[in-house]
A and B are shown apart, each in its own frame.
Chain A
Amino acid sequence: MPLYREGSLQPVDATGPAPLPLEEWLKAPMQAVSLANTDQPDALSMRLSRLKLVVLHFPKFTDGRAYSQARLLRGRMGYRGELRATGAVLRDQLPFLLRCGFDSFESDQPGFGVALARARSLFSVVYQGAEDNRATVALLRLRQHRQPAELAAD
């Protein structure tokens, strides 16, 4: 399946070692692993710093378990390597995927690269904190409240 990263409208080449399913990876922990959406992200915690790629699965685009896995990996466990979405990955999921910390995407959908380039600009405000560290509306309001003069000049 074509692989996309932000910064390129066209598919990019997959480089680095092929990801192993969790069970095999546990026996031979290499730099890349692929989790089923029922796997516990905790299972990676021992060797997290060595990992360069974690692949999470969307068996159907309506199955949202991997969003929680992504947030646990990024937010709770502090994983900083590549986080890839694969399976049924469609452009209309991109705003959510990006916010949960995914940074590479395998998708068959035509126009995916163009959609990816625009995905971060679809919504200029966010209500809830996530793994993209954007300032939430609540935070912006607090700042506005605390520094009214500064913002008035804005």
Chain B
Amino acid sequence: MPDTHFYHYDKYDRTLLSERVEQFRDQVRRRLAGELTEEQFKPLRLTNGLYLQLHAYMLRIAIPYGTLSSRQLRQLAAIARKYDKGYGHFTTRQNLQLNWIRLEDAPDAVAMLAEVDMHSIQTSGNVVRNTTADHFAGAAADEIEDPRVWCEIVRQWSTLHPEFSFLPRKFKIAITGSPNDRAAVRIHDVGLRLWRNEQGETGFEVIVGGGLGRTPMIGKTVRAFLPKDEMLAYLEAVLRVYNRYGRRDNLFKARIKILVHEIGIEKMREEVEAEYAAIKDSALKLDPQTIEAIAAHFAPPPLPHRPAISGEVERLKLEEPDFALWLKSNTAPHKLAGYRIVTASLKPAGAPPGDASSVQMEGVADIADAYSQSEVRVSHEQNLVLPHVAVEDLPAVYRALAGLGFAEANVGKITDIIACPGLDYCALANARSIPVAQRISNHFANLARQHDIGDLKVKISGCINACGHHHVGHIGILGVDKNGVELYQISLGGDVDFGKTALGDIIGPAVAADRIVEAVDALVRTYLDRREEGERFVDAYRRIGVEPFKESVYAAV
């Protein structure tokens, strides 16, 4: 029996992975020997997830559909300890970044990944990137179907695709199987949303041309309902149209969203459907047995019946207010009544968002072994998730997470900040992100106050590339560089929830780095003064508009 309840590699997957490691080892050897120039080598290292950042190489490791076994998480911890400084950064795209890798060690590091069926293939470069999914997949109470089955099919199809390895620009796909979209499908190059039509069949809504970055756009529906077995044919059609007609004259206009914007969604649909019609009955059509075989890997773990109500939980709720808050914000409904989905917050007050040390990773792996079927998820909000925790075990899990510093009851609250690595690490950044996140986090550390403020998503990017998703933050913060000084532009009203996806509006001139806490505080005070019963920050903003917020911010800074 495999030790996982998600896709486990067979001899074919393992063979390809080890051959890829050897190919990369040879490429690194040729680069160090001077046989390859940096220009020739760069795309090769990037498609193996290796960047050159400010201080060192950075290795971006894919965590396909955000799902990890405890064994894999332990191996990540071991790699971070052996080849890095003993910590890593979980990103918004279900990847783990190690910030201090040596080029000389990179082939050995990826060989160590391959030992646990993991890789860094196509985590960068102008290729199809790691396909992301709802981090609650397979456990969520509201799920129609597990999207990871389809992510895995996309992973295999997109890995070393001979036609699509030199696209105009990167290509990101996200898949969700729930009406409450936790995968942000409308801000991806392609978003796939599983839904059930009136005939009771499930299929995909295909959304194309979303994305953040320099020119943020919300994706448009190119196909309302696609039969599931035609997914690869349709994706191949989209990619072929993009590969042939996407702009290559200007790096900033090369994403598929610009193509969709320039030719219009109708023309895009026409091109894609014509290409699709020519290939839909080819070998790309998925054999039912293939789908079934991959779906079988994702069969839910055999969870024993456990009581839905626990006396211990009820008692602790009364005795420990922080535990009661944690239950509210950091646990979510599981499809079985006796279980909850637990989010381990990687945002303790004042910590760099999304960072975990090797010790902490191993600690989470131990908790997963004891209480969550040895399984861990990575969310696009840069937290870790224990997907199958029995209600009765919640107090023990809470204490164990608290021991690691990961039990902060702040999921979805103002200190659950998304932040990119920013100018401290990143060669592209204009301003720092992490220190800004730390100051806001420290300022709002009081948990009772955070819960009073309620759901509020703060997202910080250190440059226009928007790795911190600032466009879709309820409060978005973008670092800019003005004559060598870091300033921060504030936007309000962004959202990624399905059906409500919106880009934030910039409120006015950028704010100085040392006034950003005051600015956020002013925004929060305005909301608290003006909110109606049960109204979230972003809803209050929609009702009363930007003016009151603007006034208070510029009075405070």
Contacts and interface: CB of A to CB of B under 8 A. Distances in A.
B244 interface: yes
Interface in B131-171: 156-157, 159-167
B243 A141 contact: no
Given A62-B126, A123-B160, A127-B157, A68 B166 contact: no
A147 interface: no
Given A76-B278, A127-B159, A137-B12, A67 B166 contact: yes
B163 A67 contact: yes
B455 to A, nearest CB: 41
Interface centre among A97, A123, A137 (most CB of B within 10 A): A137
Given A137-B156, A138-B290, A130 B163 contact: yes
B12 A95 contact: no
A141 B44 CA distance: 30
Nearest to A69: B244
Contact of B160 (A61, A95, A100): A95
Given A62-B126, A124-B15, A136 B160 contact: no
A128 B12 contact: no
Given A92-B27, A124-B19, A141-B12, A64 B243 contact: yes
A91 B284 CA distance: 28
A57 to B, nearest CB: 13
A76 B282 CA distance: 11
Contacts of B287: 138, 142
A129 interface: yes
B12 A96 contact: no
Contacts of A140: 12
B483 interface: no
A53 B73 CA distance: 52
A90 interface: yes
B240 A68 contact: yes
Contacts of B243: 64-65, 67-68
Nearest to B44: A92
B263 interface: no
A84 interface: no
A126 B27 CA distance: 20
A67 B12 contact: no
A122 interface: yes
A21 interface: no
Contacts of B160: 95-96, 123, 126-127
Interface in B28-77: 35, 40, 43-44
A4 B126 CA distance: 27
Contact of B163 (A71, A110, A125, A145): A71
A145 B293 contact: yes
Contact of A136 (B13, B40, B167, B283): B283
B162 A128 contact: yes
Nearest to A71: B163
B289 interface: yes
Contacts of B159: 127
B263 to A, nearest CB: 15
B16 interface: yes
A141 B166 contact: no
A59 B19 CA distance: 29
- A-side interface size class: 35 or more
Contact of B162 (A61, A67, A76): A67
- B-side interface size class: 35 or more
A141 B15 CA distance: 14
B399 interface: no
A98 to B, nearest CB: 8
B12 A142 contact: no
Interface string B1-23: 00000000010110110011001
Contacts of B126: 62, 64
A54 B9 CA distance: 40
A96 B161 CA distance: 8
B223 to A, nearest CB: 21
A127 B156 contact: yes
B248 A63 contact: yes
Interface centre among A67, A123, A139, A140 (most CB of B within 10 A): A67
B163 A68 contact: yes
Interface string A6-45: 0000000000000000000000000000000000000000
A65 B244 contact: yes
Interface string B105-116: 000000000000
Contacts of A63: 166, 248
Given A68-B240, A111-B35, A125-B12, A141 B163 contact: no
Contacts of A122: 19, 23
A63 B23 CA distance: 22
A37 B366 CA distance: 54
A73 B162 CA distance: 15
B42 to A, nearest CB: 9
B238 to A, nearest CB: 12
A140 B156 CA distance: 14
Contacts of A145: 289, 293
Contacts of B156: 127-128, 137-138
A104 B20 CA distance: 24
Interface centre among A95, A124, A138, A140 (most CB of B within 10 A): A138
Given A123-B16, A123-B20, A127-B159, 19 more contacts: A61-B43, A62-B166, A64-B163, A64-B164, A65-B243, A65-B244, A67-B164, A68-B244, A69-B244, A76-B278, A95-B160, A95-B162, A96-B160, A96-B165, A111-B35, A125-B12, A130-B162, A137-B16, A142-B287
Closest 7 CB pairs of A and B: A64-B166, A99-B162, A96-B162, A137-B12, A127-B156, A67-B163, A129-B283
13 contacts: A61-B43, A64-B164, A64-B165, A67-B164, A67-B165, A92-B40, A93-B166, A96-B165, A123-B19, A129-B282, A140-B12, A141-B293, A145-B293
